[in-house]
Amino acid sequence: MIENKLKKILKAGGTAVGTMVCDTRTPGIAQALAVAGFDFFILDTEHGSYSLETVSDMMVTARLAGITPIVRVPDHEYPFIARTMDAGALGIMAPRIKTQAQVEKIVRCVKYPPIGERGMNAARTNTDYRGVKLSEYAAKANAETMVIAQIETREAVEDIDNILSVPGVDAALMGPTDLSMSLGTQDLAHPKVAEYIQKTLDGAKRRGIPCGTHTADMENLKSWRDKGMKLLLYNYDFGFILSGGAAAVKELK
């Protein structure tokens, strides 16, 4: 079982920088992001149209390149989570969290006994095709895999202490867009959105859990970093292409 670079950084109190991969289907994106210096990326299977085969290819390349691959799963049910982990993900981000019970269920799906209920799968992508001693592998996998709770609802923020009290939760990551809609506004700059993000950050600090957010606004992300966020998710694959391309066209014309 390889070391989880992202988890190591966060456990040491460091700051980790990643991005979201939403549309790119070539596994080469994992290697390119590693070369660029990103610590991790989150592959979006909630909104992205990825097959499990593509997910597996992405995970293999990421593991070889030394960048931590996390997958945002489409739902909290066991088949979505366990098959993603078996495909080689080093962790999952669970969207639309609202209750402590949901988080407890997610942890059980990610972790092997005695912590969880994940079915054993060895000598495949998740073990880099190496033979392993099951007892050693289960303990190592439980230590290295991650559960990131995506906080993007009013209910989650208002119950953040209980949600982040679940053993096995490694980090909380804000989803500002859905949070704004949950709060009754579609304005990301609305003071209520910032208030609820701050409530989550404060709750995470009380629990000793790293917190972060996802945005394409660099100044906004730096501001939250300066307030204590450690999990920084900047932009997304095509966002870089669009912004870089638009800047080049403007310069050349």
Annotated catalytic sites, by residue?
A: 47
Q: How far is CA 110 from CA 19, 86, 93, 118, 153, in A?
A: 22, 10, 11, 6, 22
Ramachandran sector of residue 102 (left: φ over 0; alpha: ψ -120 to 50; beta: rest):
alpha
- As a whole number of angstroms, the distance between CA 246 and CA 26 comes to 23
Q: Tokens representing 2?
A: 């390889």
Query: Is 158 exposed, middle or buried, given 0-12, 13-18 or 19+ CB atoms closer than 10 A?
Result: middle
- The answer to whether the CB of 202 falls within 8 A of the CB of 184 is no
- As a whole number of angstroms, the distance between CA 41 and CA 205 comes to 23
Q: Could you list the beta-strand ranges (E) of the chain.
A: 16-21, 40-44, 68-72, 91-94, 146-151, 171-174, 211-215, 231-236
Helix (H, G, I), strand (E, B) or coil at 47: coil
- As a whole number of angstroms, the distance between CA 217 and CA 232 comes to 11
Q: Which of 73, 72, 70, 65 has the alpha carbon at shortest distance from 30?
A: 65
Phi, psi of 211 (to 5 degrees): -125, 150
Tokens 């299977």 locate to 45
